[in-house]
Amino acid sequence: METSRKVIRISRHAGVLVQATRAVPEEVPIAFSYGGSTHAVMMGTPADLEDFAIGFSLTEGIIRDVSEIVDIEILAADQGYDVQVMLGDNQADALRARRRHMAGPVGCGLCGIESIEQALRPVPDVSAATLKATFDDIVSAISLLSDGQSLNRETRAVHGAGFYLPGEGLLAVREDVGRHNGLDKLVGAVLRAGRRGRDGMIAVTSRVSVEMVQKTAILGSPILLAISAPTALAIETAEKAGVTLVALVRSEDFEIFTHAHRIVEIAAGADIAS
C-alpha cells in the first residue's frame, strides 16, 4: 500500500527545481491479538495481513501448522490495524501459559525476546531436504523477485521476499518496509497456498541476519538466497540448520556460504579456482 507526498525535486545537472509528488509506502502499527489480548505490535506495511498473521504465528512458535488457526479478523484501529487471530483450544492454552507483550520498530525480528537463549533459539534441521538448484535457478529467482516487487517499483522503499520452485518459477512475492515482516508474509502465503517449504527456495532483497535464517528453517526451506551479505551468526546458524545460504546475488555472480552440495554444478564437481 502506498500514498503520495509533495517534494521539491532538485537536478543540479539541469539547474532546475521542480515541485512534484513522490509515492511512499504506508507504515502503520499492526497489532497481533490472540484470544482478545495483544501479543505483538509491529510497524509495517498494511498489506497481505492474513499472510502476515499466519507467518508470524508460525515463526514465533505460536502454531505448528496453519490448521491450528480457527479464524483471522482484521480490524482498523488507532491509525493502524488489529489482527485478531483465533486459535484452537490447545494452542490458545499454550499461548496463555507463555504470554508476553512485544512492541518493536520497523524491521525488528527479535521483538520481545526475554533472554539470550530465546534470541539464539534452536531451529529445525533441514539437512534431509533433497531440493537442488542450478546456477540459473539462483539468478532467475532473484531476477523474478525484483520483477515481482510492484510496491518497490513505485516507492523504492520496501523489502521483498519470494518463494521460488525450480522448474515452476516464482510462487509468491510479498513486500514490507520491514525485511522480517516481508518474510513472515511470504511464509503465510506459502502455507495458504498449500505448498511445502522444503520444495522451494526463499529469495530476499535484504541482508541476511540470523532471524532470516531462523524463519527460513522454520518454514522448512533448505535454500536461502539474498542480494546482500550475511552476518557471521547467520552463516553459523545456516550451517547448523542445514540451510544452503547463497548471498550477494548480483546479476550472474554470487557467493555460496554453506551447504554448497545443493547447487547442482557444485555437486557435479565444477572446477573451483583457488
Spell out the SS3 assignment of 28-70. Answer: EEEEEEECCEEEEEEEECCCCHHHHHHHHHHHCCCCCCHHHEE
User: Is 108 designated active site?
Assistant: yes
Taking the alpha carbons of 35, 193, 137, 122 in that order, is the dihedral positive or negative?
positive
Task: Identify each DSSP E strand in 98-188 by its residue range.
Answer: 102-103, 159-165, 169-176
- Catalytic annotation, pick one of 43, 62, 95, 108: 108
Q: How far apart are CA 32 and CA 42, in angstroms?
A: 8
Query: Is the backbone of residue 169 left (phi > 0), alpha (psi -120 to 50) or beta?
Result: left
Q: How far apart are CA 94 and CA 91, in angstroms?
A: 5
Catalytic center residues = 108
